[in-house]
Amino acid sequence: MLDSPPEAQDETPLTAEPGLREAAAPATPTRRADQIAQAVIVTLLFAVPALISVHAVGPSDPDVWWHLRTGEWILQHHAVPHVDPFSATGAGKPWQAYSWLFEVFIFQLFQRFGMVGLVGYSAGMVLAIAVAMRHLARRLQIDFSNVALLTLIACFLMNRLYTPRPWLFSILFFVLELDILMHARKTGRLRELAWLPVIFALWSNTHIQFIYGLAILGCAAVEAVAAYRGIGVKTRLRAPWVFAALAGSALATWANPYGWHIYRIVYDLATQPGGLDKISELQAIPFRQLTDFGVLFLAIAATAALAWGRRFRMFETALLVFAVMVSFRSQRDIWVLVTVAAAILASTIPGRKSAVDRLPGWATTLSVVAASLLVWGGFRVLHVNNATLRAGVAKVLPIDAVNEVRAKGYSGPLYNDFNWGGYLIWALRMPVSIDGRGGFYGDKSLDRSVATWSAAPDWDSDPTLKSAGLVLGPVQAPLVQILRMDPNFQLVYEDKLAAVFVARKRP
Alpha helix segments (H runs only) across 330-469: 334-348, 361-381, 386-394, 399-408, 418-427, 438-453, 463-466
Distance CA 216, CA 106 (A): 28
Cα torsion angle, 477, 387, 430, 85, sign: positive
Quick one: 307 and 418 in the same domain? no
Q: How many angstroms from the chain centroid is the CA of residue 67?
A: 14
Distance CA 368, CA 45 (A): 10
Q: Is the pTM above the cut of 0.95?
A: no
Picking from 308, 343, 378, the residue at the C-terminal end of a domain is 378
User: What crossing angle do the helices spanning 361-381 and 32-56 adopt, rounded to 10°?
Assistant: 40
Quick one: 157 and 200 in the same domain? yes
Quick one: 359 and 411 in the same domain? no
- Asked if residue 336 lies in contact with residue 326, where contact means CB atoms within 8 angstroms, the answer is yes
Distance CA 435, CA 165 (A): 15
- 221: helix, strand or coil: helix
235 conformational bin, left if phi > 0, alpha if psi -120 to 50, beta if neither: beta
Q: Is 464 within a domain? A: yes
Q: Is 437 within a domain? A: yes
- The set of long-range contacts for 219-228, using a CB threshold of 8 Å and a minimum separation of 24, is 219/314, 219/315, 219/318, 219/319, 219/322, 220/181, 220/185, 220/246, 220/315, 221/246, 222/314, 222/318, 223/185, 223/314, 223/315, 223/318, 226/314, 227/314
Picking from 343, 378, 413, the residue at the C-terminal end of a domain is 378
Q: Which amino acid is at 41?
A: I
pLDDT digits (tens, 9 = 90+) for 17-74: 333 344 444 444 546 777 888 889 999 999 999 998 887 766 678 889 999 999 999 9
pLDDT value at residue 276:
53
Quick one: 298 and 353 in the same domain? yes
Quick one: 171 and 270 in the same domain? yes
Q: Is 434 within a domain? A: yes
pLDDT value at residue 171:
97
Distance CA 17, CA 24 (A): 16
Q: Is 387 within a domain? A: no
Quick one: 342 and 408 in the same domain? no
pLDDT value at residue 17:
37
Number of helical H runs and strand E runs in the chain: 21, 4
318 lies in which domain range?
32-60+96-378
Q: Let me know if 177 is exposed, middle or buried by CB neighbors in 10 A (0-12, 13-18, 19+).
A: buried
Q: Which residue in 308, 348, 357, 355 sits closest to 22, CA to CA?
A: 348
Distance CA 237, CA 190 (A): 8
Q: Is 299 within a domain? A: yes
User: Domain total for the chain?
Assistant: 2
Give per-10-residue mean pLDDT for the chain (507 aa).
41 37 44 82 93 77 92 96 90 90 97 94 96 95 92 94 94 97 88 94 95 94 81 75 94 94 84 63 82 93 88 87 92 94 93 74 89 93 90 91 94 92 94 89 88 92 93 96 94 95 80
pLDDT value at residue 57:
64
pLDDT value at residue 274:
55
Paired residues of 501 in beta bridges: 471, 491
Q: Which residue in 253, 241, 145, 163 sits closest to 199, CA to CA?
A: 253
- Asked if residue 436 lies in contact with residue 421, where contact means CB atoms within 8 angstroms, the answer is yes
Q: Is 282 within a domain? A: yes
Element (H, E) at 146: helix 144-157
Q: Count the Cβ atoms, other than its own, within 10 Å of residue 281.
A: 17
Quick one: 470 and 413 in the same domain? yes
Q: Is 144 within a domain? A: yes
Quick one: 277 and 336 in the same domain? yes
243: DSSP letter:
H
Picking from 378, 412, 434, the residue at the C-terminal end of a domain is 378
Quick one: 105 and 254 in the same domain? yes
Q: Which amino acid is at 272?
A: Q
Quick one: 370 and 427 in the same domain? no
Quick one: 127 and 228 in the same domain? yes
Distance CA 103, CA 81 (A): 12
pLDDT digits (tens, 9 = 90+) for 73-131: 999 999 999 999 999 887 888 999 999 999 999 999 999 999 999 999 999 999 999 99
% pLDDT > 70, the chain: 90
Q: Are strands 470-474 and 414-416 parallel, antiparallel or unpaired?
A: parallel
Q: Is 85 within a domain? A: no
Quick one: 371 and 402 in the same domain? no
* Radius of gyration for the chain, computed over Cα atoms and rounded to the nearest angstrom: 25
